[in-house]
Amino acid sequence: MSVVTTVEPIRTTGTPASTRAPRPVPPRTPTSRILGVELRKMFDTRSGFWLLASIGITAVLATGAVIVFAPDDQITYDNFGAAVGVPIAILLPMIAILSVTSEWSQRSGLTTFTLVPHRSRVVQAKLVAAIGVGVASMLVAVGVGALGNLLGAAITGNDAVWDISATHMAYIVLANVLGMLVGFMLGVLIRSSAGAIVGYFVYSFVLPTLSMLLAANAAWFEDLQLWVDFNFAQGALFEGDMTGEAWAQLGTAGLIWLVVPLAVGLRLVLRSEVK
């Protein structure tokens, strides 16, 4: 005689999984918000604030130095622009470097890349913020130089000399933006504030000196220098003499020293572990 056992199904309370409402997906962080955060990061520390403020301070000091020490016949807008441009050409790449390396030096990368998992969006926002700050800084410097030129002319009793055209001024702004992009590239590639800053000074002062020595002592390199020396190729921008060949030389040297290293650095940032 067999015994039949009946097993009662287990009853569960709550809503079945098949009818449960899907979990809402949080909206994607807007690009404008990421850009705003990256801009705020460049100002909200003492070092960042004073580094940016130093652009205006040095522009005023350089303009005052031209008015005080330059002969009356040298009170021209070109000389004001040259005096203001020297400190800016050094400070802007430092700003770009610190905007990238702060994620690693201050160990905020874990938070940043957790809130925005797509690292490429963060890097793009940093790049746009750095270029925006660079262009704005150049416009401030241009304005300070123009005021200095008017003030210098009024003091000396001469007519104001405006010997820089709008096209030449645009070339100068482009040259400084390219210098800032070199700093950004080094920040992405090295991801260390000290290492990237040292690398920039080596790139800006050591390599051009070696390039000039090689061009002076090797005939084969003299014609090649403009095609492989990015610093040397940018000289045409500061002089305002850009021909078709000069643009080609700038593009070729920029591909070697800016585009390729930046692509390598971006790949490392996207794939490396953030600690």
Helix (H) or strand (E) holding 197: helix 193-201
pLDDT band of residue 181 (cuts 50, 70, 90) is very high
pLDDT band of residue 11 (cuts 50, 70, 90) is low
**Statement: residue 168 has pLDDT above 60:** yes
What pLDDT was estimated at residue 27?
75
Every domain of the chain and the residues it spans: 30-268
What pLDDT was estimated at residue 19?
62
Query: How does pLDDT run across 122-138, given as a tens digit for each residue?
Result: 899 999 998 998 888 88
- The mean pLDDT value for 47-59 works out to 83
Query: How does pLDDT run across 59-81, given as a tens digit for each residue?
Result: 888 888 888 888 878 888 888 88
**Statement: residue 248 has pLDDT above 90:** yes
Query: How does pLDDT run across 105-128, given as a tens digit for each residue?
Result: 777 777 787 788 888 888 999 999
Q: Which residue has the tokens 């390199």?
A: 221
pLDDT band of residue 178 (cuts 50, 70, 90) is very high
**Statement: residue 186 has pLDDT above 90:** yes
The whole-angstrom separation of Cα 96 and Cα 188 is 10
For every residue of 144-196, DSSP letters joined together read: HHHHHHHHHHHHHTSPPB----HHHHHHHHHHHHHHHHHHHHHHHHH--HHHH
Q: Two tokens at 268?
A: 């490392």
The whole-angstrom separation of Cα 82 and Cα 66 is 10
* Helix count and strand count (H, E) for the chain: 14, 0
pLDDT band of residue 18 (cuts 50, 70, 90) is low
What pLDDT was estimated at residue 3?
54
Query: For the chain, what percent of residues have pLDDT higher than 70?
Result: 90
Beta bridge partners of 161: 76
